[in-house]
Amino acid sequence: MRCVGALMASVLATMTVLVGGAAPSVAQGSVTARWEVVPLPALTGPTDLTGVVAFGASDAWAVGYVSEQGSVRTLTLHWDGSQWTRIPSPNRSRTQNWLFAVSGSSSSDAWAAGYDVGPDGKHRTFLLHWNGVRWRVVPSPNVTSLDTMLMGVTVLTPKNAWAVGSATAWPLTGQTVVQHWDGIRWSIVASPNPGTTGLGSYLLDVAAASAGDVWAVGDYDSGDSVMRTLTEHWDGTAWTAVSSPTARDGAVLTSVAAAGSEDVWAVGWQQRRTQVQPLAQQWNGVAWSNVATPRFNGDAAFADVVAAGPNDVWAVGGQSNRTLAAHWDGKSWTASPTADPGGIGASFTDVTTIPGTPCLWAVGQFTDGERGQALVERYCAGR
């Protein structure tokens, strides 16, 4: 599978257990808004999309992986305004090449992050760069002798990008990994590890309000096998851990989005006795606080969040055997019915706004009972 041990438990609880699809359109004010499934090119083997970014109505990237030719290979799809097309992307490993996130500053500056497996069998960081013409592998550091992987990336400019993840030592005790791109090379930047025993500490996503205001989120274990929310902040000089609310039975933050220095959102899931339910938190410039989310029947979780504007925030994920999307209007979260891709289950893993339009892209996976297949849906207000 895509990760090991503790990381699999914390990351994939949102991505693989919660799958499905619901249907009709939803009214928003006096106009009609809806989610719709967008066709993809035929792909052989199990596929999954884990990240999406858009630069305009006719320029977007979705990344993930596909099992083909006896190995797991990178998958990069491009939207040109009328269709999604697979674009060739490098595969450094002969066995496993995983992409989990994508971000960019322009049509000619995009980064995709993940991990692959080296000749020694260890996971190693994997970063691809798009220069407007092709994807290429760019060297990135690893934590010596440990399995190292990247789960999130954010790009401010061609000379300023961040990637986060974790390094894991036996017996699966994780430590945070933060890397910075200065336009020439990637280098590791020191980051806090509030949990150093048990399952350790993990970072799963990163977002920036400005060059001196960057947030990373994830989870950590204090040694009792209960995962707690983890939020870390870059102030332009150093990374520090910032206190955030957590749940007694366990909680994980899987995604973060920065609308401004006093308006940052983080989402994930929290354990409520025997159920998993969505978790949403907001930073107001002073402190993190929980924001009430809808209660769903069965297990449900948020996997990703995007701030489309003031009081206009979207979160996506999965609910039992259905995709899940919810909207924050400044007062409350409201579930937004999603399209039905067919099959027996589906989930979203990532969402992004489409600049210059009232639309969103959401990506993930659905299954027909035999294999997972890549899923892309688009939401447009007033359509």
pLDDT tens-digit map of 8-18:
334 433 333 34
Q: What is the pLDDT of residues 96-152, one digit of tens each?
A: 999 999 999 999 999 999 999 999 999 999 999 999 999 999 999 999 989 999 999
**CA-angle at 53, arms to 49 and 55, nearest 5°:** 145
Three-class SS string for the chain? CCCCHHHHHHHHHHHCCCCCCCCCCEEECCEEEEEEECCCCCCCCCEEEEEEEEEECCEEEEEEEEEECCEEEEEEEEECCCCEEECCCCCCCCCEEEEEEEEEEECCEEEEEEEEECCCCCEEEEEEEECCCCEEECCCCCCCCCEEEEEEEEEEECCEEEEEEEEEECCCEEEEEEEEECCCCEEECCCCCCCCCCCEEEEEEEEEEECCEEEEEEEEECCCCCEEEEEEEECCCCEEEECCCCCCCCEEEEEEEEEECCEEEEEEEEEECCEEEEEEEEECCCCEEECCCCCCCCCEEEEEEEEEECCEEEEEEEECCEEEEEEECCCCEEECCCCCCCCCEEEEEEEEEECCCCEEEEEEEEECCCCEEEEEEEEEECC
> Residues 62, 74: contact at Cβ < 8 Å?
no
Half-sphere exposure (CA, 13 Å, Cβ side) for 178? 25
List the structure tokens of 97: 């090449």
Closest by CA to 138, choosing from 190, 181, 198, 194, is 181
> Residues 233, 214: contact at Cβ < 8 Å?
yes
| Residuewise pLDDT in 10s, the chain (383 residues) | 233 333 433 443 333 334 333 322 233 333 358 999 999 999 989 999 999 999 999 999 999 999 998 999 999 999 999 999 999 999 999 999 999 999 999 999 999 999 999 999 999 999 999 999 999 999 999 999 899 999 999 999 999 999 999 999 888 899 999 999 999 999 999 999 999 999 999 999 999 999 999 999 999 998 899 999 999 999 999 999 999 999 999 999 999 999 999 999 999 999 988 899 999 999 999 999 999 999 998 999 999 999 998 899 999 999 988 999 999 999 999 999 999 898 889 999 999 999 999 999 999 999 988 899 999 999 998 75
Q: Looking at residue 325, what is its pLDDT?
A: 97
Q: Looking at residue 330, what is its pLDDT?
A: 96
Q: Looking at residue 44, what is its pLDDT?
A: 86
Q: Looking at residue 222, what is its pLDDT?
A: 87
Tokens 């910075």 label which residue? Answer: 180
Indicate if the alpha-carbon torsion angle 256, 194, 181, 87 is positive or negative.
Answer: negative
CA dist., res. 324 & res. 207, Å (int): 22
- Distances from the Cα of 164 to the Cαs of 94, 154, 292, in angstroms? 24, 9, 27
CA dist., res. 294 & res. 314, Å (int): 13
Note the CATH architecture for domain 5-381: 6 Propeller (2.120)
Cα of first residue to Cα of last residue in the chain, in angstroms, is 38
The strand pair at 239-242 and 227-234 is best described as: antiparallel
Q: Looking at residue 32, what is its pLDDT?
A: 55
The length of the chain in residues reads 383
Query: What pTM was estimated for this model as a whole?
Result: 0.92
Instruction: Work out the number of other CB atoms within 10 angstroms of the CB of residue 53.
Output: 23
Q: What is the pLDDT of residues 287-300, one digit of tens each?
A: 999 999 999 989 99
